[in-house]
Amino acid sequence: MPDGTTPVLDVQDLKTVFRTRGGEVHAVNDVSFSLRKGELLGVVGESGSGKSVTMMSLLGLLPVPPAEIRGGRVMFDGQDLLQIPAKTLREVRGGKIGFVFQDPMTSLNPVFTVGYQIAEPLRKHMGLSKKAAAVRSRELLELVGIPDAEQRLLDYPHQFSGGMRQRVMIAIALACDPQVLIADEPTTALDVTIQAQILELMKELRDKLGMAVIWITHDLGVIAGIADRVMVMYGGQVVEHAPVHDLFSNPKHPYTTALLKTIPSIAGERAARLTVIDGQPPLVVGPPTACPFRDRCAQAMPVCATKVPSRYDVGDGHDAACFLVDPLEVAHAG
């Protein structure tokens, strides 16, 4: 439930590259977005479009070589997360910004009990005693709907199912009452019924705790039900950004239009869905010089190969990085 306009997180012109043997992979190119208090921002795009790298860049979670953050600003709590010292950044991680990763099977440490792993951030960020941390850990497990919480704190990750492990991950991310929760495809690795449960849980928790959420997915269908605003990414760039209803009813970017056509009518059609857009997402070696989507775009024009489209405003907090909506190009054509 967005309350007005105060952004808790404001990202400007973020650029991240990977130095690899085959050259510099420009995984994130001038990405800008902001997140308002209590809002749920959906981030969609095929796999490889730079969603995870963008979010991990915010918190400095990428391995530093090969990754390198080339530029940008990440304003949070009055400071630029890209500039603050490592120690201050660690207080933000897990304390003020929680992170849930894609694969719950590998994201928990196999040799520590679940109770220990939940208590760790509690003790570090909130300075709780062992006892107090145990009490709070139990509450958290109950909050994310794990039955028999007291007992399960003593179990190891392998004793939990995938869905239960993802609940544990969510409990860890929520442990210190973060202002922002970043969920990177938290349901992708789970089967459909469990996906729905986790989704339901997240909706409920957001209403209860009132934090802002960034929800990453490659599935527009998931986004429709929960997001306030949606940001579509492709080739390391934001290609379209709009309030959720606007995006679904009035997509401006051909990529978004194509994505919308791929939403399955029933959940069972997953396999078919992934092949609907012809062609492969680009591997961006070197800085982008043209529209990344032009090779797969049915409406490509000569101008698309000559420069990178900027994000053109199309009204009501809706913008798209496509020459089809560039006022100049439109004027030319008309």
Partner 1 sequence: MLTFTIRRLLLSIPTLLFIAFVIFMLLELAPGDPMAQMPLTIPPEVKEKMRLALGLGEPWWVRFPLWLKQFFIVEPQYWIDSAFGTNFADGAQRIISFQSRSPVFDTIAQRMPQTLWVVGMSYVVGVLIALPIGIISAYRQYSVFDQTGTFVSMIGFSVPPFFSGVLLIVIFSVQLKWLPSIYDTTHVVNSWDSFVVQLRQMIMPVMVLALQTTAQVSRYMRASMLDNLTQDYVRTARAKGMSESVVVMKHVLRNSMIPVITVIALGIPAIFGGAIITEQIFKVNGLGQLLIIALQGNDIPMVMTITFLLAVLIVMMNLIADVLYGILDPRIRYD
Ligand X SMILES: Nc1ncnc2c1ncn2[C@@H]1O[C@H](COP(=O)(O)OP(=O)(O)O)[C@@H](O)[C@H]1O
Q: Where along the sequence are the contacts to ligand X (CB under 6 A)?
A: 18, 20, 25, 27, 45, 47-53, 66, 283
Any contact of residue 156 with partner 1 (CB under 8 A)? yes
- Identify residue 79 by its one-letter amino acid code: Q
Residue closer to partner 1 by CB (options 132, 196) is 132
For partner 1, the binding residue among 25, 40, 81, 108 (CB under 8 A) is: 108
Contacts of residue 110, Cβ cutoff 8 Å, sequence gap at least 6: 156, 157, 158
158 binds, among Mg ion, partner 1, ligand X, none (CB under 5 to 8 A by kind): partner 1
Cβ within 8 Å of residue 55, ≥6 positions away = 43, 99, 182, 184, 214, 216
Q: What is the DSSP letter of 145?
A: T
- Asked if 115 interacts with partner 1 (CB under 8 A), we say no
178 binds partner 1 (CB under 8 A): no
Name the minimum Å distance from CB 299 to Mg ion: 28
What's the CA gap between 168 and 160, in Å, rounded? 9
The answer to whether 122 touches 65, Cβ cutoff 8 Å, is: no
25 binds, among Mg ion, partner 1, ligand X, none (CB under 5 to 8 A by kind): ligand X
- Residue whose C-alpha is closest to residue 159's, from 216, 151, 27, 237: 151
205 binds, among Mg ion, ligand X, partner 1, none (CB under 5 to 8 A by kind): none
Among residues 108 and 238, whose Cβ is nearest to partner 1? Answer: 108
At closest approach, how far in Å is the CB of 61 from ligand X? 11
Least distance (Å) between residue 303 CB and partner 1: 41
Longest dimension (CA), the chain: 71
- Residue whose CB is less far from partner 1, 97 or 244: 97
Number of residues that bind partner 1 (CB under 8 A): 27
Closest to ligand X by CB, 1 vs 283, is 283
Q: Measured from the CB atom, is 45 or 157 closer to partner 1?
A: 157
Residue 214: CB minimum distance to Mg ion, A: 13
The DSSP annotation for 264-317 comes to: -SSGGGHHHHTTSS-S-----BSS--S-TTGGG-TT--GGGGTS----EE-STT
Name which of ligand X, Mg ion, partner 1, none residue 112 binds, using a CB cut-off of 5 to 8 Å depending on partner kind: partner 1
Neighbours of 119 (CB within 10 A): 24
Per CB under 8 A, the list member of 14, 59, 258, 321 interacting with partner 1 is 59
Residue 139 pairs in a beta bridge with: none
What is the pattern of x (binds Mg ion, CB under 5 A) and - over residues 33-72? -------------------x--------------------
Distance of alpha carbon 197 from alpha carbon 200, whole angstroms:
5
For residues 72 and 121, which CB has a smaller minimum distance to partner 1 in the complex? 121
Tokens of 52: 């995870």
Nearer to ligand X, 234 or 323 (CB): 234
CB 187 within 8 A of CB 156: no
Please state the length of the chain.
334
Q: Pairing relation of β-strands 79-80 and 67-76?
A: antiparallel
Of 196 and 209, which CB lies nearer to partner 1 in the complex structure?
A: 209
CA 98/CA 180 separation, integer angstroms: 6
Residues near Mg ion (CB under 5 A): 52
Footprint of partner 1 (CB under 8 A): 56, 59, 61, 90-95, 99, 101, 103, 106-112, 120-121, 124-125, 156, 158, 169, 172
